[in-house]
Structure 1
Amino acid sequence: MSDVLTSLLNAQLDVGLGKPILWREVIGNLFGLASALGGARRRVWAWPVGIVGNIILFTVFLGGVFHTPQDLDLWGQAGRQIFFMATSAYGWVVWAATRRNNGASQVAVHPRWATRRERIFSLLAVLVMFIVFYGVLRALGSWGPLSDSWILTGSILATWGMARGWNEFWFVWIAVDIVGVPLLASAQYYPSALLYVFYGAFCVYGFLTWWRTQRPAEADN
C-alpha cells in the first residue's frame, strides 16, 4: 500500500521543458483554481477545497526537502500554504455563519469596500510581515527571498480580505500574481507559474462579479 501511495505522490509528467513536473503540482493548482471559482461565486465550499490544494502544494514547494524534480525550496510558497489553511478555516466558519443567516440563499458573504481604519491596519500589517518574512526566508535560503516574501505577505492579506468580504482583495491577488509568475517560472514550477497568469485575468472577473453584486445593495440603502 505504501509503495502505491509513494508512486502516486511521485508521479511525473514530462512536458519537454528540461525537467519533469509533478502531477501533484498540477492537481494542487486545480484545487486552487476550483477554490478561486467558488470564491468568486461566494460559495462556502471554496474554503475546504482550497485547503486540500494547500496541503498538496505544501509538499510541492519544498522541492529540496521532498526530493522533487524542482529541487529548489520556496519556503515562502510553502509557508503560505500553512497560513492559507489557518485563514481558510476562519473564512469557512465566517461564510458558513453568513449563509445560515441568509436562510434559503446560498450566498456566504456580502462584498464591501474596506473601511479607512481597516486599510490603515492592513498597510501596517503588510509592512511588518514583509520585513519579518524577508529576514526569515533569506535565513532559510529560500529561492528569491524578496519576491517570495512579497508573495507570502500579499497572499495572507488577500486571503484575509476574502474572508472579510473586502473587494480590495482581488487587487492584492493581482499584485501577487505579477511577482509570482517570473519567480515560479525561473524556479521551474511551470504549472504554478501558468496558473498565476490565469489567476491574474480571473481576478478581474472576480472583482467585477463582487462589485456588481455590491452595487444593488448600496442602491437599496
Structure 2
Amino acid sequence: MSWVDASIDILGRPVKWTDLIGNVFALATVAFAMRKSMWTWPVQFTGSVLLFLASISAHVTGNALKQALFAVLAVYGWWKWRQGTQEQALAVRPATGGERWRMLAALVVGTVVVTILFKAFDLSWYPGASVAVVASDAYIFVGGAVATWAQGRALVDFWVVWVLVDLVGVPVAFKSGLYVSGAVYGVFFVMVLTGFAKWLREYRAARPELVAAA
C-alpha cells in the first residue's frame, strides 16, 4: 500500500507518516495514563493501528504483532477501567507477590516461546536472522503485552515493565529504520519513570497507614 509507505524527510531521514503520527498517539497514551483518563484506551487503539501499519511496512513482524495485541488490550483496558470507575476514581495498587512472579514468568517463558515461533516461521526481521535479533523482537512483543495487561488492571508495576521493554525497544527501533519510534522510546523512558512515581504517590496517599508504618 503506497500510502502506508509514504514518508516525509526529517533531518535528512525518511520518516513514515504512520510511524510519526502513531508515535504522537503513543506519547499521548502515556500522558493520559498518568492522569488515569479513560481517553488512554481509544488513543492507544488508534496509535496501535498506525504503528501496526508502519511496522508491517518496515518488516518488523514482532512489533507489528505487538501493536495488534495492543489494540485488543486497549479494548480490555477500557473495559477494566470502566469497571473500576463506576462509583469512584480508579484505584491503583502495586502488584502482589504472586502477580509479580506471574508477570516475570510470562515475560521469560513468553519470550522463549515467541522467539522459537518467530524463528521457525521467519516472522521477524528477515529470513535467516540470528536468534539474538529475533529474540529482541519477541521480547518487545511479550513485554509490551505484559505491561499493557498490568496497565489494564491498574497495577503500578506496569510502568516498571515498560522500562524493561524500552531498554531493548530503543536500539531495535533505530536498527529497523523506525527513527521516530526510536526517539519516542527514549522519551517514553522519562515519561514512564515520571508516571511510576506519580501512581506510587497516589497509592501511598490513599493508604496513609503505609506512610505511618515507614
Is TM > 0.5 for Structure 1 vs Structure 2? yes
1:40-63 per-residue CA deviation (whole Å, 9 max, x = no partner) reads 110111001100011111111012
What amino acid is the match of 1:80? Answer: K
Structure-1 residue corresponding to 2:130? none
Q: Secondary structure at the match of 1:20?
A: strand
Q: Which amino acid aligns with 1:32?
A: A
**Is 2:144 the partner of 1:155?**
yes
User: Match of 2:22?
Assistant: 28
Amino acid at match of 2:95: A
Aligned length: 202
Q: Indicate the residue corresponding to 2:109 in structure 1.
A: 128
Whole-Å separation in 1 of the counterparts to 2:123 and 2:42: 31
Identity of aligned residues (%): 33
Match of 2:70 in 1: 84
Which of the numbers 161, 167, 192 marks the counterpart of 1:172?
161
1:121-177, CA deviations, whole angstroms, 9 ceiling, x for partnerless residues?
222222221111101222324122111111111101110111111111111101111
In the TM superposition, residue 100 of structure 1 has moved relative to its aligned partner by 2.0
Deviations 1:19-43 (A, max 9, x none): 5111121001111111111111101
TM-score under structure 2 normalisation? Answer: 0.88
2:118 corresponds to which of 128, 137, 140: 137
CA distance in 2, matches of 1:11, 1:186: 19
Partner of 1:113: 94
Unmatched tracts of structure 1, length 5 or more = 1-5, 64-71
Aligned to 1:12: 7
2:178 to 176, 189, 210: 189
CA contact (8 A) 2:4 2:53 kept: no
1:118 Cα deviation after fit? 1.1
Instruction: State whether residues 170 and 182 of structure 2, in contact with CA within 8 Å, keep that contact through their aligned partners in structure 1.
Output: yes
CA RMSD of aligned residues (A): 1.7
1:219 aligns with 2:208: yes
Work out which structure has the larger RCO, using CA pairs closer than 8 Å and 6 or more positions apart in sequence: 2
1:8 positional shift: 5.3
Q: Any conservation in 1 of the 2:41–2:75 contact (CA below 8 Å)? A: yes
Structure 2: runs of 5+ lacking an equivalent: 126-132
Distance in 2, Cα, partners of 1:172 & 1:112 = 15
Question: How many Å separate the matches in 1 of 2:3 and 2:176?
Answer: 23
Q: Which residue of 1 aligns with 2:35?
A: 41
- 1:55 corresponds to: 49
Amino acid at match of 1:97: Q
